[in-house]
Amino acid sequence: MNSNAVLLTGCAGFIGSHAAEEFLKHGYDVVGVDNLTYAGKMKNMNEFIDHSRFIFYKEDICNFSSILEICQRHNIGWIINFAAETHVDNSIDDCNSFIHSNVTGVMSLLNVCKKLKCKIFHISTDEVYGSTKSGSFSENDILDPKNPYSATKAAAEHLVRSYANTYDIKYLIVRPSNNFGPRQHDEKFLPTIIRSLANNDKVPIYGDGKNIRDWLFVKDNVRAIRYIIENSPECEIYNITSKNEMTNLQICRIVCNILNKEVDKSIEFINDRLGHDFRYSIKNAKLKSIGFSNFSSFKRSMNETVKGLCGEKNE
């Protein structure tokens, strides 16, 4: 195995494409795999598709034999798994694709690790803890997912740890909070705000807008992931958060202010999501304990993101 060669799944997606840039920038050989479903876009890879240390394969992670052959060909040391279905509303409508990618896909990758003795770095989510009205979750708290999406992510974590116990697979798991940044898919909340304002439509806000999310800049997230793979012992789990908890209404106000829109004239409250979690909140003491605290200014990152997404809408 080559510890400098990583297989990065979901490399044409939002977070995965930023991770590919981060790892390439720091000298890794990156083999990218993406099935190019609706959320994976070739244009997300424009900045690195021709990089001398990047190779791309269009492939479904559930295809065990293909992923095995790719890992053998490139002598992969780590499989870094960003490939996932992630939109909660879609999982409420139909969970089948979530089970396929988020559970069966992870099992396929683990079987590759079992066969080749390579390691897996699994990207989970803070949503596996469920909701809390007070306090924040640490890595040792019980998983209590409350929607089909987060249930599949929790199931994937259990698979990873079970393979570690049964087959001695080496792993790392991270549970990042809600990412934002350039290239985020239109279905997510921040791009929905920007799209609505650009079209002079009302921004749809679930319920009373008081649901709280912990907002993490995508470039901080992938920096933390690279730092963990380089500095953590194996078989550990880390929350990743810069502790920017805000209500959905607060985020909408921030974007309206950046774009010089009147908030009260720009929003509409709609029926709440089924089983809508009230507040996600996680601690980052464990991440800080291994030396990572390299988080960007939220105000600067949000300004960069809003202006960048506006530019993408105008392309």
pLDDT digits (tens, 9 = 90+) for 129-162: 999 999 999 999 999 999 999 999 999 999 999 9
CB 137 within 8 A of CB 281: yes
At 314, the pLDDT band (50, 70, 90 cuts) reads: low
pLDDT band at 312 (very low <50, low <70, confident <90, very high): low
Q: Which of 149, 171, 238, 280 is catalytic?
A: 149
Catalytic residue among 22, 126, 157, 220: 126
pLDDT digits (tens, 9 = 90+) for 40-85: 999 999 999 999 999 999 999 999 999 999 999 999 999 999 999 8
Owner of token pair 């994937």: 156
Query: Sorting pLDDT into bands at 50, 70 and 90, what band is 186?
Result: confident
Is 94 tagged catalytic? no
Residue range 232-255: average pLDDT?
Answer: 96
> Diameter of the chain by CA atoms?
58
The highest-confidence range among 175-189, 233-247, 248-262, by mean pLDDT, is 233-247
Q: How confident is the model at residue 315 (pLDDT cuts 50, 70, 90)?
A: low
Tell whether the model's pLDDT for residue 14 goes beyond 70: yes
**Mean pLDDT, to the nearest integer, of 226-232?**
98
Query: Which residue do the tokens 């793979």 mark?
Result: 229
Q: Is 38 a catalytic residue?
A: no
- Domains of the chain, residue spans: 2-180+216-242+284-289, 189-211+245-279+298-313
Angle, CA 61 vertex, CA 150 and CA 75 arms, to 5°? 125
Give the per-residue pLDDT at 87: 79
Indicate which residue of 60, 85, 127, 277 is catalytic: 127
C-alpha closest to that of 219 among 293, 308, 159, 296: 296
| Reported pTM | 0.95
CATH 3.40.220.10: does it fit domain 189-211+245-279+298-313? no
- Across the range 111-116, mean pLDDT stands at 98
- The distance of Cα 236 from the centroid of its chain, to the nearest Å, equals 18
CB 81 within 8 A of CB 57: no
Residue 59 near residue 101, CB atoms below 8 Å: no
Pairing of strands 212-217, 245-247: antiparallel
- Token pair 């066969």 is found at 115
CA distance 194 to 221: 22
pLDDT of residue 3: 67
Number of Cβ within 10 Å of residue 180's Cβ equals: 25
Please give the share of the chain, as a percent, with pLDDT higher than 90: 84
> What is the mean pLDDT of the segment spanning 261-283?
91
Instruction: Report, at the CATH architecture level, how domain 2-180+216-242+284-289 is classified.
Output: 3-Layer(aba) Sandwich (3.40)
Supply the pLDDT for residue 89. 84
- Is 127 a known active-site residue? yes
Residue appearing with tokens 């240390």: 53
Give pLDDT tens digits for 286-301. 999 999 998 999 999 9
Q: What is the band of 310 on the pLDDT scale with cuts at 50, 70, 90? A: confident
The 8 Å CB, 24+ separation contacts for 50-59 are 51/24, 53/24, 53/28, 53/29, 54/20, 54/24, 54/30, 55/30, 55/31, 56/11, 56/32, 57/31, 57/32, 57/33, 58/33, 58/34, 59/33, 59/34, 59/35
Average pLDDT over the chain reads 94
